[in-house]
Amino acid sequence: MALMHTRFGKIVKHLVFWILFLLLWSAHDLNYHKDILENLETNMFAFIPYAILVYFNLYFLMPRFLLSKKITVYIALLVLSIIIITWGTSYYLSFYFKYINMHVPTAEFFESPQGKIAVVTEVILSLGLSMTLFLTDEWYRKDKSVREIEKKQLETELNLLKNQVNPHFLFNSLNSIYIMLDKNPAGGKKMLLQFSEILSHQLYEANKKSIGLEREFENLKNYIHIEKVRHEDLVTVDYSFPENGNNLVISPMLLLPIVENAFKHGQSSRGYQINIQSEITSGNTLYFNVKNTVSAESQKKPHNKSKGIGLANVKRRLELIYPNRHQFRAEQNNSKFIVQLKIQLDKNEMPDS
């Protein structure tokens, strides 16, 4: 069905081209003959050699030589074809006006050099117009194909970035539960329940294009609770999430690596602090800021290494999903590491099921 539709569309394009060509040609001939209908009738007979050359060029010479970069051979064959068609058309039109359309006295004109110049001009015009439209259509189709390939590549890259984040997160969470089950079975069971909610979020939400902002915040709360129990009195976490997500949606698992990074690189046997603040302002803009103290070990590392792959993935996902709609900044200031994120989010078009 799609193939038939494509062929039908191509036939329509060609019909429109020749109809417009004949109308313009006949309107031009009003300078010599004032009857537009007779001009159309004459030109419908006269355009046949031009059409033969046009299709010979489009479907034989161009695919076999021009598009294969055999430019010299193409030009030579095209010039030869133009000479043959011009010579043949001049005698073809002379015959037509001498024996078929005898009331228009132009038979001798087409046998003269001036007539051949007029014919070759029309031949080159028809070739130029047809080649312009053909190459424009080819460019459009290739551009569309390139865009589709780029879209698939971006989708593949996003999936790879998500897969890089998720196993790392799972490993840390399972490790936390394992430690807690050994030290406090009751607390471990509670952590396991929270982890199941996180895992459910990852399995059923992470592959979606977007989810409700409230769901992302709930996932962050579960993760923070697990990490707080794991590190007991060593970590102090202050966080604030809006109670109402304003019906906004966000790419899933986008904020988690930022919080995870704070726990991972802030760890210290002397204790550490994490502050997480988020705010929704007018224009559907989310401000998400995370600040954590940096351990002495992390301070000795180069700045780019201390961030790990988590924040690099966040930055790349932001570039792919929210181009020109976000600001991301990560910096280390003495003993503190600060991440500031600003995203302009979309409204949820469909209510959450």
* Contact in structure between 224 and 239 (CB atoms under 8 Å): yes
User: What would you measure as the largest C-alpha separation in the chain, in angstroms?
Assistant: 110
* pLDDT over 70 at 54, yes or no: yes
* Contact in structure between 237 and 276 (CB atoms under 8 Å): yes
> pLDDT of 258-271, one tens digit each?
998 888 877 776 78
Confidence of residue 3 (pLDDT cuts 50, 70, 90): very low
The mean per-residue pLDDT over the stretch 38-62 comes to: 83
CATH label, 232-347, candidates 3.30.565.10, 1.20.1740.10, 3.40.190.10, 3.40.50.10880: 3.30.565.10
Backbone angles phi, psi at 344, to 5 degrees: -90, 110
**Residue 306, burial from CB neighbour count under 10 angstroms (0-12, 13-18, 19+):** buried
Token pair of 56 as six digits: 């010979």
pLDDT confidence of residue 328:
95
* Contact in structure between 166 and 253 (CB atoms under 8 Å): yes
Q: Tell me which range, 14-28, 194-208, 243-257, is most confidently predicted by mean pLDDT.
A: 243-257
pLDDT confidence of residue 156:
65
Map out the domains of the chain as residue ranges: 12-146, 232-347
The mean per-residue pLDDT over the stretch 120-136 comes to: 85
> pLDDT of 255-314, one tens digit each?
988 998 888 877 776 788 999 999 998 889 999 999 999 876 666 665 544 455 678 888
The mean per-residue pLDDT over the stretch 107-130 comes to: 82
Q: pLDDT higher for 271 or 346? A: 346
Among the residue ranges 54-68, 159-173, 285-299, 323-337, the one predicted with the least confidence is 159-173
Using DSSP, state whether 244 is helix, strand or coil.
Answer: coil
> pLDDT of 72-85, one tens digit each?
999 999 999 999 98
Alpha-carbon Rg for the chain in angstroms = 36
* Contact in structure between 245 and 280 (CB atoms under 8 Å): yes
Residue type, 102: M
> pLDDT of 130-186, one tens digit each?
888 888 887 888 877 777 766 666 666 666 655 554 565 577 677 777 877 777 788
pLDDT confidence of residue 167:
62
pLDDT confidence of residue 191:
80
pLDDT confidence of residue 287:
96
Q: Report the percent of the chain where pLDDT is more than 70.
A: 82
Integer Cα distance of 225 and 241 in angstroms? 14
Confidence of residue 30 (pLDDT cuts 50, 70, 90): confident
Q: Report the percent of the chain where pLDDT is more than 90.
A: 18
pLDDT confidence of residue 353:
42
pLDDT confidence of residue 274:
94
pTM of the model: 0.57
Confidence of residue 339 (pLDDT cuts 50, 70, 90): very high
pLDDT confidence of residue 341:
96
> pLDDT of 178-236, one tens digit each?
877 777 788 778 788 888 887 777 777 767 888 899 989 998 998 888 888 777 778 89
